[in-house]
Structure 1
């Protein structure tokens, strides 16, 4: 199953919007909350947990449900870097030109785009 940058961003935005009491187990997050299929959604949630962007307790249960408490500081930083739609579009465009990506690369490119937006003097790459 391929990773989807848009689905990763969407999941983080939705989880950020939840009140803390709503996030106690992953099954409280409906697959209908996201644009992917149920298997895609759960796979991307697991990847976000594995990457340390979501705060999880323990191991998944037999149904692969996680106890999620929210996002980690790294998750919030990542989301803040890709939150703005214009920055996000430019980040994806640059990554598409590269032909591949890692979360670290996405974050680095998004940070550069944010700095450009703030007028911090970066030249076009």
Structure 2
């Protein structure tokens, strides 16, 4: 399955709204269903994206071993917040995607974050 970068951004923005409760877990499906974001992507895409965000160190969470298609979310990691801060702004996100598409077509999330950070730096003349 291909990692959907739009889903990565939307899911991180959604997970950021989940209150941190000292390390207790939230059911991912309930988080998704409580928003209108489920209109944009199917659950398989969300779950795949979530697992990839865990593997990439962007979020803390897990798959419940005893229940199929059940996932728990704890928090966004520092790395996840850094990425999200670089791509939060819609204009910067669109410019980042456009820059990457014009140069190479696709890239890793780390490259997306670096390009987005560079665009922000350029806007501030840094």
Where does the alignment leave 5 or more consecutive residues of structure 1 unmatched?
121-125
Equivalent position to 1:28, from 23, 27, 30? 30
CA RMSD, Structure 1 to Structure 2 (Å): 1.9
Paired position in structure 1 for 2:57 = 52
Shift in Å at residue 85 of structure 1?
1.0
Shift in Å at residue 82 of structure 1?
0.4
Please give the per-residue CA displacement for 1:15-69, whole angstroms capped at 9, x wherever unaligned.
Answer: 0012225952323223553411111111111111111100125x54231423211
Paired position in structure 1 for 2:79 = 74
Once the two structures are overlaid, the 10-residue window that deviates more, 71-80 or 24-33, is: 24-33
Distance across 1 between alignment mates of 2:25 and 2:88 = 21
**Pairwise mapping of residues 1-125 of structure 1 onto structure 2 (< 5 A)?**
1-21=1-21, 23-30=25-32, 33-34=37-38, 35-56=40-61, 60-61=64-65, 62-97=67-102, 98-120=104-126
Contact 2:10 2:37 in 1 (8 A): no
| TM-score, length-scaled by structure 1 | 0.84
Where does the alignment leave 5 or more consecutive residues of structure 2 unmatched?
none
Distance across 2 between alignment mates of 1:116 and 1:85 = 16
Higher normalized contact order (CA 8 Å, seq sep 6+, divided by chain length):
2
Once the two structures are overlaid, the 10-residue window that deviates more, 92-101 or 32-41, is: 32-41
Please give the per-residue CA displacement for 1:58-115, whole angstroms capped at 9, x wherever unaligned.
Answer: x542314232111000000000010011111110001112122011111110110110
SS in 1 for 2:68: coil
